Amino acid sequence: MLNLRTVDLNLLTVFEAVYEERNMTRAAERLAMTQPAVSNAVARLRSVVGDELFVAGRRGAAVTPIAEHLYPKVKAALDAIRDGLGETRDFVPSESDRRFAVGALYGPGVSFGRAFAAWLKRDAPRLSWTWLALDGRDAGVAALRDGRLDFLLDHARPSARDLQGTELFTDELVVVAAGHHPRIGTSLSRRQFLTERHAVHRSLRYPGNLPQIEEALGHQTLDVALEVREPIELPIAVSGTDFIAVANRRLVAPWVKLLGLKVLPTPFRASPFKAYLIWHGSRRRDAGHRWVREGTVRLAASHA
């Protein structure tokens, strides 16, 4: 077993920063160190581990499988130490430079994102955020449990006992089309919906909204003219075309005036759905974490 008395534990905070930033220079700025000092610390930790932790990549420091294995354990240990020493209990928003990581399985909309950024800039300007792309709910839950995520935005209420969550939004699906669409006025029938050409979102990571729409239509097939990788692209995809798309109302709202869009109810049954802010139960006593989640809930209520 490794004798911890022979290891400089400050190396672990450097490892955490380089792993999260994927860049030696940004990690140095975050830690108020020089870049050579960070590189030296990584080299020292490499000698302790006995294997490479990072390798040069096109965009900075690429992580190795050893680093992937170590990070959740190091992160969990450092968070436990921070909590025990009172860093999170004596949280001062205007002074804290903590970093929070968020994963999103549901996009709450550009308008809320702007309000969220404005709130933090005003009340906690030194906080920083990492937004992580996820490969599904299981990946998000695993990241909450091993400390890689502080929060998860999802449209499903958490069911696991070790997770906690609170409702942020109620949202609904709508049909969006260009304001000058040649065939669509103020209403849209089911028959016309099926004859129009559609823009949908689908990527390598997500099946997108097409299966949900076709199921609601009794498994009738849509005429798909365009596929985009992310939901945020749908309002842009229909502007200036005669395509139509189904999207979240909150996602569409900021683009209506800007792009001259029209928004109509779906001609099929689409029940409203919730969006939740989710976190791991181990964070319940973390004052900084609590400040962020309570503020996020208040902000969401003011933008209902």
Question: Are 177 and 267 part of one and the same domain?
Answer: yes
- Domain limits at 1? 1-85
pLDDT digits (tens, 9 = 90+) for 194-251: 999 999 987 655 556 677 788 888 888 889 999 988 888 899 999 989 999 999 898 8
Residue 32's CATH number: 1.10.10.10
226 contacts 243 by C-beta, under 8 angstroms: yes
pLDDT tens sequence across 3-28: 666 678 788 889 998 998 888 988 88
Query: Within this chain, do residues 3 and 69 fall inside the same structural domain, yes or no?
Result: yes
Q: Which amino acid is at 156?
A: A
103 and 252 housed in the same domain: no
Query: Are 123 and 157 members of one domain?
Result: yes
Asked if residue 282 and residue 160 are part of one domain, the reply reads: yes
Q: Which amino acid is present at 29?
A: E
Same domain, 291 and 233: no
The number of domains in the chain is: 3
Do 265 and 281 lie in one domain? The reply is no
Whether 182 and 159 map to the same domain: the answer is no
pLDDT winner (highest mean) among 38-47, 75-84, 138-147: 38-47
Torsions phi, psi of 163, nearest 5?
Answer: -110, 145
| DSSP one-letter string for 173-237 | EEEEEETT-SS--S---HHHHHHSEEEEE--SS---SHHHHHHHTTSPPPEEEEEESSGGGHHHH
Say if residues 119 and 127 touch (Cβ distance below 8 Å). Answer: no
Shared-domain flag, residues 204 and 261: yes
For 115, 134, 148, 217, 286, the CA distances from 279, given in Å and listed in that order, are 21, 15, 11, 35, 11
* 177 and 258 fall within a common domain: yes
Region for residue 218 given its phi and psi (left: phi exceeds 0; alpha: psi -120 to 50; beta: otherwise): left
Residue 296 belongs to domain with CATH number? 3.40.190.10
Q: Are residues 179 and 197 in the same domain?
A: yes
Q: What is the pTM of this model?
A: 0.68
Query: Do residue 184 and residue 98 come from a single domain?
Result: no
